Amino acid sequence: MTEGAAAALEASARNAEQEVAKVLENAKELQDAAASFISKTSNEEQTLRQRALAIQSSINRVRSLIDSLVYNKLLDSKLAEKLEEDLHRATCILADGDAASLIPGKPQGKFLNMFLGPINVRATRKDIQLKVKEEYNRFKDRTAFLFLLFPAILLSLRHYVWNGCMPAFAVQLYQAWLLFLYTGLALRENILRVNGSDIRSWWICHHYCAMVMALVSLTWEIKGQPDCSEKQRGVQLFLLWAMMQGVAMFLQNRYQRQRLYTRIAMGKAKRMDVVWGETAGVDGQLWLLCPMLFVLQGFEAYIGFLLLKTAFLGIASEWQVIFFGFLLVVMAIGNFVNTVQTLMTKSKFKAKMKRSKSKTLLGDTSPTS
């Protein structure tokens, strides 16, 4: 090697050493800057968190004061309603804006901990929370279509291919999909509740029951011939109910989304809310949706009683049949009660809005000379 080549290699080595030292120094500076930023942000976040908790405490204190004044007849009821609405709007502002992450959320519960472990699933940014909600809505739309498609395929094959007797594997495959569906819904709804969504506890509990039912159904030996049509009568009715449920889910998703937008625009709901609650909605769809829901709930209870009857008559005496029948009746009753409660709440809210509108019109009317 010539002397010039050796000098060039030595210079390259020194240059590489200097570059490595520079990169290492930059990494250390970045680490120090990031640590300082995180510490500063943490301190500022703690200050904002204390302010958010103070405002929330003030809202609760003022609400209690208003209730006490109304109870003692020291405050006019009209003024109390207006103040209560303003407090509710203040609550929605806290829960709907970027300050929502500063307010402690609901505990995750055992269901999420069982599947995910002690992992915090609450998003700190509002846009991420809204993406979780939108993905939940898309999941419901997709599953509503499949809820309608799968039973239609099974019933068509039963009539045209399987000579009225469905194979056990096909039905159990559908039940396995139902287990995936209800587990997915329950997980997403629990995550939404942690992130501030207002979901009635019954609907999550309903999905727990449906998960258990789908899981147990995988152990149910669906017998074939002889008397296949009689022994599979409950399965056939369940598939018919599932098709009706798919249609109702389409209407329900559309209706609930439209009326939720109305509530958000009025300041009566948070953007993270998903379903149920009082609101002014789309009355035409409501007249179609409510009878369909009640028919579905009645049909669900009928299938439950039919399964119990077949078990007690000895036609199909497996324990799964008794379990399904009892669970379907309980779920139908729970759905009916919660639907009625929702309609009653909605009716009270609409009556209140009509009274407010009438008072406004009377107040605007003045005698003419």
208-244 pLDDT, tens digit per residue, is 988 998 888 888 776 655 667 666 777 777 787 777 7
| Helices 319-364 and 283-312, packing angle to 10 deg | 160
The whole-number pLDDT of residue 362 equals: 41
Query: pLDDT (tens digit, 9 = 90+) per residue, 165-188?
Result: 878 788 888 888 989 989 988 898
Q: Give the type of residue at 31.
A: Q
- Within 10 A of 241 (CB to CB), how many other CB atoms are there? 18
Residue 206 contacts residue 331 (beta carbons within 8 Å): yes
pLDDT band at 275 (very low <50, low <70, confident <90, very high): very low
- Within 10 A of 71 (CB to CB), how many other CB atoms are there? 9
Long-range CB contact pairs, 200-207, < 8 A, 24+:
200/275, 200/276, 200/338, 202/334, 202/338, 203/275, 203/276, 203/338, 205/334, 206/331, 206/334, 206/335, 207/182
Joined tokens for residue 285: 């769809």
Residue 345 contacts residue 278 (beta carbons within 8 Å): yes
The whole-number pLDDT of residue 282 equals: 44
| More confident of the two residues 92 and 203 | 203
Closest CA to 276 of 293, 297, 257: 257
Taking residues 336-351, report their average pLDDT.
Answer: 74
Report d(CA 304, CA 335) in Å as an integer: 14
Taking residues 82-105, report their average pLDDT.
Answer: 76
Joined tokens for residue 319: 């324990």
Highest mean pLDDT among 141-145, 250-254, 278-282: 141-145
Report d(CA 343, CA 258) in Å as an integer: 16
pLDDT surpassing 60 at residue 317? yes
Residue 290 contacts residue 213 (beta carbons within 8 Å): no
Q: Where are the alpha helices (DSSP H) in 72-125?
A: 77-96, 109-116
Place of tokens 């809204």: 130
Joined tokens for residue 138: 């898309």
- Within 10 A of 243 (CB to CB), how many other CB atoms are there? 17
pLDDT band at 1 (very low <50, low <70, confident <90, very high): low
Report d(CA 163, CA 142) in Å as an integer: 31
Q: What is residue 99's DSSP assignment?
A: G
The whole-number pLDDT of residue 113 equals: 83
Phi and psi for 108 in degrees, rounded to 5? -65, -35
CB under 8 Å to 233, separation ≥6 — which residues? 306, 310
Whole-Å CA distances, 353 to 255, 273, 279, 360, 364: 20, 21, 10, 11, 17
The whole-number pLDDT of residue 155 equals: 85
Report d(CA 185, CA 214) in Å as an integer: 14
Taking residues 318-329, report their average pLDDT.
Answer: 83
pLDDT band at 353 (very low <50, low <70, confident <90, very high): low
